[in-house]
Structure 1
């Protein structure tokens, strides 16, 4: 369905709510009579109702977020016209967990910020979710991830509480864009970067633009990154690698792909397992140490296993109960 027509349909829903005079109704009837417009209008009305009736359903949550993102991205960068507030809020209200009166962020020693409600966007295992935020920035969540949005008048602040997310920051905004992950804060202006939070480790991959990464302790100067830098921070310190193409590879999950470049099979299997069942086990150290390269769809296990059997010195044991085990191939 044409994205422009969907935007017009959303605006008509709002206009009809705000005014019901004869002139407005006549304009709507003319618009509504054109090919495809009736279906678009009914789709938007149904989505509006579903945002309340089915707010907690995970499949509808993902669908609404993706729809809102596509509609917002289709809008040309001109003088802002009001998109229906309920349309932008529909995705948010479905993902809001308990309201939070106080939010403390351990990034720079700033005082706690009082907020009436802090929306939380989250995904279940195997899900991917794209959200367009109120300033036009885009947030994409990976499998089993959770991000809290706490925008204020002075800054655009988000907290990655679990998992991984790609942030594409709207340009030409006066407020800084800050992502907090663990004890580290990433500050960016008009850029794209990927942040992953694992137990004890934060990884930042810069796709484009410039960012700086600071710790909550403030013991060291912020680390400035350039495109293709990958920063890894842990209790032992911070390291930065610069490898052309690595940032894009690390963020390829946002397009539903996992890219492995001379990666150990143990690591590759762990990444595939993040996206759901069936889970894969490694039987021995030799199989886990095999180095592989390739691009695979997230959650699509069978092509991954077929490629291993065809091109690598391993065997794949698929059991009737669904368990899958990879072992070193034994030659006679």
Structure 2
């Protein structure tokens, strides 16, 4: 194991032990959160270690662990916290080390730095992914999704772009999608997550999900439970929960984009996500509005529709440009 992995293993063991001894002080809680946020690998390793500890409850009867636990309980008050932390950390090392020996020499490295499976699409490409638990993920254009092997939870991360999830029902293992500083948790449902540079949106078409924020700002809620037929838009710390037409919001899954009285500039920006050829709208016609159902990967259909309605005309030059008629 590399020095970096050894250092992370020690940090995981210490934080795990300190949390097992009782509630953290406010200062320690701040430090623990800072450690989690400092590197996504820290959070992944800590969650994996917690899952592993829970999975191997039977190891609590191991004589080595029992002896260390009794030693922690009998510690004198002056050194009680330090010795308890050390004892439990030693327990964690024994458990992780024992399991590593049982499953093979490479297991511990995989635990401390669990490697997700990465799925990514190029501009203009979409992808359907069958996940190990039976769930389905559909990636939109220029998107990236990471998925870890299922444990106590089914963990994924939307790194960029948009994805639609059809979640296999399993009440014992929540389905958790990390999206920046937020998480979306479901047991069995269908929902869409759209991550943009300054915002993200969740559209729920079936079931229930819970959206949580690690760092709520500006008085925003830290957790919202959503019902089917609603969308949540989070932008600059503000959350807006409203009803929506899920068929229109998720039209991209079938290759079509639905626009209802949308500005030409917004339509061009959305279509531009699927095209390597620039789509521009002159300022004089940018605010003109249109309702349409357009193929996601056919800017020519957009231009033709705009011209047919007399909203703008195609301008000269390369790419797709709309100017005043």
Structure 1: which 5+ residue stretches go unaligned? Answer: 1-100
Give 1:201's match in structure 2, choosing from 190, 199, 202.
199
Q: What is the deviation of 1:111?
A: 3.5
1:298 Cα deviation from its structure 2 partner: 1.2
Which runs of no fewer than 5 residues in structure 2 stay unpaired? 1-38, 49-111
For residue 312 of structure 1, report the CA deviation from its aligned partner: 3.5
Q: Is the 8 A contact 1:263 1:292 kept in 2?
A: yes
Alignment deviations for residues 198-244 of structure 1 (CA, whole Å, 9 cap, x no partner): 1121111111111110001368441011112111112232111113x
Residue of structure 2 in register with 1:222 after alignment? 223
2:142 pairs, out of 137, 141, 144, with 144
**Residue of structure 1 equivalent to 2:262:** 263
Larger Rg computed on CA atoms: 2
TM-score (structure 2 length as normaliser): 0.64
- Quote how far apart the aligned CAs of 1:116 are: 3.6
**Contact 1:278–1:301 at 8 Å: present in 2 too?**
no
Q: 5 Å matches for 1:51-62?
A: none
Aligned mates of 1:234, 1:180 — CA distance in 2? 16
Name 2:151's counterpart in structure 1: 153
Structure 1 residues 102 and 184, CA, compared in 2 at 3 Å: closer, same or farther? Answer: closer
Q: Say if 1:269 and 1:280, in contact at 8 Å, map to a contact too.
A: yes
Higher helix share: 2
Equivalent runs, 1:8-47 vs 2, <5 Å = none
Contact 2:145 2:156 in 1 (8 A): yes
2:322 pairs with 1:326: yes
Q: 2:46 aligns with which of 111, 114, 127?
A: 111
Q: What's the RMSD between the two structures over aligned residues?
A: 2.1
SS of match in other structure, 1:306: helix
Larger deviation, residues 150-159 vs 184-193? 150-159
Q: Which stretches of structure 1, 4 residues or more, deviate above 3 A after TM superposition?
A: 110-116, 218-221
TM-score, normalising length from structure 1? 0.63
- 1:1-332 aligned within 5 A: 103-105=41-43, 111=46, 113=48, 114-217=112-215, 220-243=221-244, 245=245, 247-284=246-283, 286-319=284-317, 322-329=318-325
- Structure 1: how far apart are the matches of 2:43 and 2:295? 35
Q: Distance in 2 between matches of 1:261 and 1:162?
A: 25
Instruction: Give the total of aligned pairs.
Output: 221
